[in-house]
């Protein structure tokens, strides 16, 4: 079964692009990945520190931010929000997304928790977010694989 994964954060320049790049880098068959933000500008690049910490892992990022749209919701088989606040907003705006929207942590670990915002932090802050997301994505891949 193929999966279309949508990661959602606030500005779509830090957490969700990083999660999407980490998952894409696995180059899994039958898996498409996108990201969007609940309060995002259109067309911004990923933050400089995101590019730096992904490059440290050999991942080049080409990114243009975008606001979460109805077409993204319809496209996705799974929507992974970075925080419970994002999840709530998504479901408020798009009630039809309820059954397929989770926080990334609740889907992966079965318990609530947020991936906090590195926005404005040092490169070390971004590295911590990358490492946190990398673990989550590794578990996610295992979990989705089991569901295929």
Ligand X SMILES: N[C@@H](Cc1ccc(OP(=O)(O)O)cc1)C(=O)O
Question: Can you give the three-state secondary structure of the chain, one letter per residue?
Answer: CCEEEEEEECCCCCHHHHHHHHHHCCCCCCEEEEEEECCCCCCCCCCHHHHHHHHCCCCCCCCCCCECCHHHHHHCCEEEECCHHHHHHHHHHCHHHHHHEEEHHHHHHCCCCCCCCCCCCCHHHHHHHHHHHHHHHHHHHHHHHHCC
Choose, by CB under 6 A, the member of 14, 23, 136, 137 that binds ligand X: 14
Closest residue by beta carbon to ligand X: 11
Instruction: Mark residues 98-117: x for contact with ligand X by CB under 6 A, - for none.
Output: -------------------x
Rounded least distance, CB 30 to ligand X, Å: 27
List residues with catalytic annotation. Answer: 9, 15, 117
Residues in the site for ligand X, rule: CB under 6 A?
A: 9-15, 37, 39, 117, 119
């Amino acid at each position: 079964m193929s999966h279309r994964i949508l990661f959602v954060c606030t500005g779509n320049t830090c957490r969700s692009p990083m999660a999407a790049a980490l998952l894409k880098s696995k180059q899994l068959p039958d898996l498409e990945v996108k990201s969007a933000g609940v309060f995002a500008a259109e067309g911004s690049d990923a933050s400089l520190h995101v590019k730096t910490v992904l490059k440290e892992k050999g991942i080049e990022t080409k990114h243009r931010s975008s606001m979460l749209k109805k077409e993204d919701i319809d496209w996705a088989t799974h929507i992974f929000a970075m925080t419970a606040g994002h999840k709530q907003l998504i479901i408020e705006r798009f009630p039809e997304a309820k059954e397929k929207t989770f926080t990334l942590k609740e889907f992966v670990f079965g318990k609530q928790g947020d991936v906090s915002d590195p926005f404005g932090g040092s490169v070390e802050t971004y590295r911590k977010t990358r490492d946190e997301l990398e673990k989550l994505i590794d578990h996610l891949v295992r979990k989705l694989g089991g569901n295929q």
